[in-house]
Amino acid sequence: MPTERTPTARVWTLESYFPVFNGPDMVAFKEKLQNDLGQLMADAQQTPDLDPDAADDWEKIVLALEDAQTRLDHWSSYLSCLEAAHADEEAYPLERGEIDRTRAALKRIDIELVRAFKKAEAGCFEAFTRRRALLPIAYHLGRIRSRGRFTMSPSLERLAADLNLDGIQAWGRLYDRLSGKLSFKLPLADGKTEVKPISQWRSLMAHPDRKIGRAAFEAGNRAWQGIEDVCAAALNAIAGSRLTLYRHRRRAHFLDEPLFKAGIQRQTLDAMYAAVRENIALPREFLKIKAAAMGRRQIAFFEREAPLPVAVAGPLSWSRAVELVDSSFAGVYPAQGAHFRRMMRGGWIESDVRPNKRPGAFCTRSKLTGEQRVFMTFNGTLGDVTTLAHETGHAWHGHLLKAMRPWAQNYPMTLAETASIFAEHVLAEGLYRRADVDEGQKLAMLDEDLSGMAVLLLDITTRVTFEQAFYEERQAGELSVSRFKDLMVAAQRETYGDVLAADGEDPYFWASKLHFYISGLSFYNFPYTFGYLLARTLVARFREEGQSFLPRYEALLTASGSNTVETVVAQALDEDITRRAFWREAIRGLTVDLGRYRKLLSAHT
Ligand SMILES: [Zn+2]
């Protein structure tokens, strides 16, 4: 099929959120929300801890808070769309400030709930969550109570929150400021150098010309070396603050809080990584095949994201992209295809290319209207088509969750990427079946897919290995710059093994990877490996069982905010994710993809 030269894309419609930004409807909406929250706070403060006498009052507060949060999220989702689509508009940062203040007011009511549930007698709490109006959100209520078990006294928690601003969060801000300003001197072919902002570092390292990639890597790391002491101080302080708080909150292990947030048990995490390490040869094999295609045996850590040098046909038009996604969904998973058409008809997708749009892509939704919106910028690559499928996969998840109460729609990060990765596979299945998609494009797409796999199973595993080793040692005191480098190099060696060239390590990855410096979240890594492997298992089942598998898949997505991940998977799939065998199967499925990759590669070269 011939492709149009210029991609023409779509602008979304947002009127179902509010007819006009800060028009009369929106102003009245915000006023009512803020009044309701004020009233709710007064009610909550006056209500004694949960006991049979206070149960009616607490039920009213819970239901009103659930409703208020749904309205706040609606407002916030609307603003996220506007902020992304018009990054230059000055009114939006001010509006975001107002949302943050409203969220803080809501958070204070949530603290009252923790206080009320924490000391409630077990039988009384159980009876409370069994009430007709509360049973559908019993899991969420149980988590509020659990949070109470690991909090200090209210006055100490307030002190900790106040000190956090100048402590852990200040270290995070310092890192953001320094790393954001960082630049490096890229050597050019003519012997001169060019100053580049660090934001261009990653794409330069993945440059198809490997000499440029290496020069960028080395120059960038000299810049990181220049701020190594500050990075080490920040990392030591961030982890140190956390460990101190964990001790005072009586957390037995530094992984307990990340695991609680992820909705999984320690046993599940350990089983997953045991299976990954046991089968690490498979993801390494992909990098070996790729290195061989480029005439080499090994790679360096910095080039793990470099693309395969294949020539692909020119830019795709937006209508062609839509047709590819639509036909793949319709042929492989009709219900999701129908939802995709609904989104297209409703103008729920923004893909236009124009200035002042934020980079990247996301899906957001309103639990109030039951609608989703997808944001992206379509530049005509096959990667953009994958992004379209990925984000509409998130939208499908959101659509299925409409059947649940708002507080039963909040899934953990471990289940956040299930539907999106599944949708990418549905697209890929559809495309492989088509004769009018050229083999070069199929190869480029599979290469991108498997590169993503290598990030999730090797790069992320490296980060988990490093972060765990770091936290273990940090309990006894601060680590030096050279110790950070040693731990990072050891983690890379252990994970990448013989595919990593001698001297191919990146000893400054602990400094350059901003995820280690996010002050609100530790171990921002394992949920990615988890989500990817779970999605792969679901795809494998779908391949085996066909359409009859889909009701179970949808049951899993629908229940994703209603229970622990172990229970959700057990109920939908009858599988035990605390066992290593479950994860082993997910990784071994890679053999099929590697076979396909080899075949496409040999046909192409
Ligand atoms: Zn996603």
8 A C-beta contact, residue 377 and residue 355: no
**pLDDT attached to residue 5:** 38
Ligand 1 centre to CA of 388 (Å) is: 10
Ligand 1 centre to CA of 271 (Å) is: 24
Ligand 1 centre to CA of 316 (Å) is: 22
Ligand 1 centre to CA of 232 (Å) is: 31
8 A C-beta contact, residue 141 and residue 129: yes
Please give the distance of CA 18 from its chain centroid, rounded to a whole number: 28
Distance CA 506, CA 176 (A): 21
**pLDDT attached to residue 6:** 40
User: In the chain, what percentage of residues exceed pLDDT 90?
Assistant: 75
Of all helices (H) and strands (E), which one includes residue 350?
strand 349-350
With 0-12 / 13-18 / 19 or more C-beta atoms within 10 angstroms meaning exposed / middle / buried, residue 189 is exposed
- Is the model more confident about 514 or about 487? 487
Q: How many CA atoms lie within 13 A of 166 on its CB side?
A: 3
**pLDDT attached to residue 307:** 76
8 A C-beta contact, residue 562 and residue 408: yes
Q: For 401-455, write each residue's pLDDT tens digit.
A: 999 999 999 999 999 989 999 999 999 989 988 888 888 888 888 888 898 899 9
With 0-12 / 13-18 / 19 or more C-beta atoms within 10 angstroms meaning exposed / middle / buried, residue 164 is middle
Distance CA 292, CA 295 (A): 5
Ligand 1 centre to CA of 392 (Å) is: 9
Distance CA 80, CA 13 (A): 14
Ligand 1 centre to CA of 421 (Å) is: 7
Ligand 1 centre to CA of 417 (Å) is: 5
Distance CA 131, CA 118 (A): 18
Ligand 1 centre to CA of 90 (Å) is: 28
CA dist 436 → 287, 383, 431, 432 (Å) = 29, 17, 9, 10
Tokens of 559: 């229940």
Q: For 519-546, write each residue's pLDDT tens digit.
A: 888 898 999 999 999 999 999 899 999 9
**pLDDT attached to residue 489:** 98
**pLDDT attached to residue 288:** 95
What is the 8-class DSSP label of residue 455? Answer: I
Q: For 30-88, write each residue's pLDDT tens digit.
A: 999 999 999 999 999 999 999 999 999 999 999 999 999 999 999 999 999 999 999 88
Three-class SS state of 362: strand
Q: For 395-406, write each residue's pLDDT tens digit.
A: 999 999 999 999
User: In the chain, what percentage of residues exceed pLDDT 70?
Assistant: 98
- Is the model more confident about 316 or about 117? 117
**pLDDT attached to residue 2:** 34
Ligand 1 centre to CA of 244 (Å) is: 33
Ligand 1 centre to CA of 525 (Å) is: 14
Ligand 1 centre to CA of 227 (Å) is: 32
> What does the DSSP assignment read for 521-567?
-S--SHHHHHHHHHHHHHHHHHHHHGGGGHHHHHHHHHTTTSS-HHH
Distance CA 243, CA 471 (A): 8
Ligand 1 centre to CA of 390 (Å) is: 6
**pLDDT attached to residue 605:** 67
Mean pLDDT over 340-359 rounds to 92
Ligand 1 centre to CA of 552 (Å) is: 21
Mean pLDDT over 19-34 rounds to 98
Mention every residue, 6+ apart, whose C-beta is less than 8 A from residue 314: 3, 5, 380
Reported as a pLDDT band with limits 50, 70 and 90, residue 500 is very high
Ligand 1 centre to CA of 393 (Å) is: 8
Reported as a pLDDT band with limits 50, 70 and 90, residue 312 is low
Ligand 1 centre to CA of 531 (Å) is: 10
Pick from 597, 8, 585: nearest CA to 278? 585
Pick from 490, 518, 525: nearest CA to 301? 490
Ligand 1 centre to CA of 360 (Å) is: 11
Q: For 107-162, write each residue's pLDDT tens digit.
A: 889 989 999 999 999 999 999 999 999 999 999 999 999 999 998 987 898 898 88
**pLDDT attached to residue 1:** 35
Ligand 1 centre to CA of 225 (Å) is: 33
Tokens of 288: 């070996």
**pLDDT attached to residue 305:** 78
8 A C-beta contact, residue 304 and residue 501: no
Ligand 1 centre to CA of 594 (Å) is: 23
Ligand 1 centre to CA of 74 (Å) is: 20
Ligand 1 centre to CA of 76 (Å) is: 19
Distance CA 578, CA 570 (A): 10
Mean pLDDT over 16-39 rounds to 98
Ligand 1 centre to CA of 134 (Å) is: 30
What's the mean pLDDT when you consider all of the chain? 92
**pLDDT attached to residue 106:** 94
Distance CA 318, CA 312 (A): 17
Ligand 1 centre to CA of 340 (Å) is: 16
Distance CA 320, CA 385 (A): 9
Ligand 1 centre to CA of 361 (Å) is: 8
